[in-house]
Amino acid sequence: MKKKIINQELSEFERFVLFEKGTEPPFSGEYENHFEKGIYVCKNCGIPLYNSSDKFHSGCGWPAFDDEIPGAIFKQIDRDGIRTEIVCAYCGVHLGHVFYGEGFTKKNVRHCVNSVSLKFIPEGQKPPIDRMFCAGGCFWGVEHLFKQLHGVVDTRVGYMGGRWPNPTYEQVCTGLTGHLETVEVIFNPNLIDEEQLIKYFFEIHDFTQEDGQGPDIGEQYKSAIFYTNERQKEIAEKIIEELKKRYKVATQLRKASTFWVAEDYHQDYYEKTGKAPYCHYRRKIF
């Protein structure tokens, strides 16, 4: 994952931790004993990473969480070959490490995170950006249409919901991995809200088709919304119930999981090729 500085106001030490995999001294961080209600976002890109409800005091000297916001954290083997490093799943910067089996909480997991990798957003305030994941057939067309929506600041295509780690396009196309072709939608919640995004998603694909989209038939082409928080889930449930009064809805509603970014040639496919989607277009239904 190619990392770039998004927050130009990062200090030299913050850049050291985030981009050089440094570590702040124990018991020195701003958030070690911080337990206000809200969310913690990435200091570099602003994507929500952790809920305050999952934070606990471990006594280890760094902020500790026993869970992450779905789809927000990517885990990989540390360069020491022993520990598991955790990075922001969107911008790739270093957050800390995750440990298992220590018995601090019932989940038996500890995300040990540097305070300087985080920024706290109090309850009731919106983060600078947020994300949701939508699967609606070939991800080329879904991405192309989302990119045209005001308030969407970035998109990536990839695979979500399956059993195999780091799948290739060829593996996903077999239908055996369980993954769906999925678009990560990064949006500015001050410009567009989740209800607008979800309604738009239903208008740009055939949510009544159970086996794929148009001529694209297969497990990987099924319709789904992968939610990252309870607000997204509740709004999606409400809209689906509204649609069921008039349509047979095949769209699945699932909790987000690891998002495996697809190969480079799939990203921004229609912009690169100059072609147009063959089975995706917007039709007003709300």
In whole angstroms, give the CA distance from residue 180 to residue 219.
7
| Full pLDDT tens readout for the chain, 286 residues | 567 889 999 999 999 999 999 999 999 999 999 999 999 999 999 999 999 999 999 999 999 999 999 999 999 999 999 999 999 999 999 999 999 999 999 999 999 999 999 999 999 999 999 999 999 999 999 999 999 999 999 999 999 999 999 999 999 999 999 999 999 999 999 999 999 999 999 999 999 999 999 999 999 999 999 999 999 999 999 999 999 999 999 999 999 999 999 999 999 999 999 998 888 999 999 9
| CA–centroid distance for 205 within its chain | 21
Q: Which of 45, 138, 173, 279 is catalytic?
A: 138
Contact 50, 71 (CB under 8 A): no
Measured N-to-C along each axis, helices 230-244 and 194-203 cross at an angle, to the nearest 10 degrees, of 40
Among candidate residues 189, 20, 183, the one with its CA nearest the CA of residue 117: 20
What's this model's pTM, rounded to 2 decimal places?
Answer: 0.95
Among candidate residues 99, 110, 119, 108, the one with its CA nearest the CA of residue 31: 119
Edge-first strand listing for the sheet containing 118-122:
48-51, 38-42, 118-122
Q: Would you call 119 helix, strand, or coil by DSSP? A: strand
Q: Is 173 a catalytic residue?
A: no
In whole angstroms, give the CA distance from residue 136 to residue 44.
30
Tokens 């931790």 correspond to what residue? 17
pLDDT in tens, 12-62: 999 999 999 999 999 999 999 999 999 999 999 999 999 999 999 999 999
Please enumerate, as own/partner, the contacts of 31-35 that have beta carbons within 8 Å and a separation of 24 or more.
31/63, 31/115, 31/118, 31/120, 32/61, 32/62, 32/63, 32/115, 33/57, 34/63, 34/120
Token reading at 4: 């770039």
Measured N-to-C along each axis, helices 194-203 and 139-146 cross at an angle, to the nearest 10 degrees, of 130
Domains annotated on the chain, with CATH: 12-122 (2.170.150.20), 130-273 (3.30.1060.10)
In whole angstroms, give the CA distance from residue 210 to residue 91.
34
In whole angstroms, give the CA distance from residue 235 to residue 257.
19
Q: Would you call 254 helix, strand, or coil by DSSP? A: strand
In whole angstroms, give the CA distance from residue 138 to residue 204.
12
- Predicted pLDDT of residue 1: 58
